[in-house]
Amino acid sequence: MSQSIIPPNKLKRALKEGKNLIGTMLVEIRQPAVMQFLANAGFDFVLIDNEHGPFNLETIAELSRAAKFVGLTPIVRVPDITYTYVTQALDSGAQGVMIPRITNVQQVKDVIQMMKYPPAGKRGTVLGRGHTEFKSGSLAEMMATANEESLLVVQIETKQALDTIEEIISVPGVDVAFIGPTDLSVALGVPGAMNDPTLIAAIEKIIGVCRRHKIVTAIQANDLDFGISWAKKGVRMVSFNSEAGLMMKAGKDAVAAIGGVAKAFSKT
């Protein structure tokens, strides 16, 4: 049997095997070599933030290609729920899409129609693009394999999504429920209070519902202790910080440590 022209989705397969995975958010750096840095750090996936980041379609294609080349799974957070944003991200090489600001079940059903080929959805077909690594082959095989390998991440970050979490994750085709704690804290009236009991109870509710429905739970963690604590409670995908945040944190730590030594020696 010939190998598929659709590359395997390492993240999706690892999740099916029950593994816990860690990635980061890409928010600013557009140079494809950044994917090598992230892979060398040991990350499993990267979230290319096209909701708040400065990325265009050409950049998304280059970053997705570089990510897959070094063994990272590229997932694009689209800025809005439109056919163009969803399918162009996938056609350019992303192996999954993350949908922000979900408020109802119909939005999730609409996304699945956009990202899946017939008969599961209505995505337009094309060969010889980024998603097939510019290869041609059996159209029927490509469509079936792409449907299996593409990953759908729905963000739970609104009060409406929290209230209808059971219905949202019960839609066939949803792979991951991604908790956006910052926006969720705002929606719950406790902006930025990551340890507030209201937010904690909401996150625990999401984890519990996802566990019952056998849906993977993910979370964005900008603080290391925050990420560790939720990983211990059953969150299997943690997106830790961002490439910009990691670089600034390392820089600040170095400046503080070396600067402190320098000041101490200057007094002797």
Contact criterion met (CB below 8 Å) for 174 and 152: yes
Angle between helices 57-69 and 83-91 (to 10 degrees): 40
Q: Exposed, middle or buried, 119 (CB in 10 Å: 0-12/13-18/19+)?
A: exposed
Please report, in tens digits, the pLDDT of each residue of the chain (268 residues total).
358 999 999 999 999 999 999 999 999 999 999 999 999 999 999 999 999 999 999 999 999 999 999 999 999 999 999 999 999 999 999 999 999 999 999 999 999 999 999 999 999 999 999 999 999 999 999 999 999 999 999 999 999 999 999 999 999 999 999 999 999 999 999 999 999 999 999 999 999 999 999 999 999 999 999 999 999 999 999 999 999 999 999 999 999 999 877 666 666 5
Contact criterion met (CB below 8 Å) for 158 and 101: yes
Q: Which domains, from first to last, does the chain contain?
A: 10-266 (3.20.20.60)
Structure confidence at residue 209 (pLDDT): 97
Give the other-Cβ count within 10 Å of 262's Cβ. Answer: 9
